[in-house]
Amino acid sequence: MGTQYRNILVAVDGSKEADWAFTKAVEIAKRNGAELSVVHVVDNRALATLTPIDSTLYEQNEKFGDELLSNYKDRAAEKGIKVQTIIQLGSPKLQITKNVAPKVHADLIVCGATGLNAVERLLIGSVSEHIVRTSPCDVLVVRTPKEEEGKGEN
């Protein structure tokens, strides 16, 4: 029978890669009768340099996160999956494996393959790569299907 997953954590950021990861996480949750936790991390390091006047940008980020999560919550609920959404502030790399995964007792983390370009990956490494290295549990990195690559890109 193999491993039975109970608590699946999926990280979303609004990218197409994250959407594929969510779809795959829903399938796995359904197959395993697992609970799904959908997390969105608002990277406040980029926002830390903003002046109070720029606080609307921070609010926009949070609003985007809330809307994103409520959309995912509805989609999972339609499939009959027990789902909770989590919005965190901080570095996505640290929040997902150090804080969120232990809190929800995740036994599987699902994330999309990186959206970073080659230079950014070289300099800072991708979030998915960091999750693989530091995760307390199994990790599934979902690749965008080949036929979908390049669609919708300018």
pLDDT tens per residue across span 61-80? 788 889 999 999 999 999 99
Number of independent structural domains in the chain: 1
- Mean pLDDT is highest, among 19-28, 54-63, 140-149, for 19-28
> Does 58 fall in a domain?
yes
> Does 43 score more than 70 pLDDT?
yes
How confident is the model at residue 154, as a pLDDT? 40
Judge whether 2 lies within some domain. Answer: no
The encoded tokens of residue 36 equal: 């799904």
Q: Are 103 and 121 in contact (CB under 8 A)?
A: no
Whether 1 maps to a domain, the answer reads no
Name the pLDDT band for 153 (thresholds 50, 70, 90).
very low
Burial-class residue 92 by CB neighbours within 10 Å (0-12, 13-18, 19+). Answer: buried
- Average pLDDT of the chain is 84
Indicate whether 122 belongs to any domain: yes
- pLDDT above 90 for 54: no
Give the model's pLDDT for residue 143: 82
Instruction: Judge whether 154 lies within some domain.
Output: no
pLDDT number for residue 17: 87
Q: What CATH number corresponds to the domain at position 102?
A: 3.40.50.620
The radius of gyration computed from the CA coordinates of the chain, to the nearest angstrom, equals 16
- pLDDT digits 0-9 by tens, 100-131: 999 999 999 999 886 555 665 565 567 888 89
Which pLDDT score is estimated for 25? 97
Query: What is the reported pTM?
Result: 0.83
Q: Would you say 57 and 50 are in contact if contact means Cβ atoms under 8 Å apart?
A: yes
pLDDT-above-90 percentage for the chain: 52
pLDDT attached to residue 30: 96
Q: Which domain holds residue 111?
A: 7-148
Sequence-ordered alpha helix ranges (H) in 1-138: 16-32, 44-47, 55-78, 92-94, 101-103, 118-124, 127-134
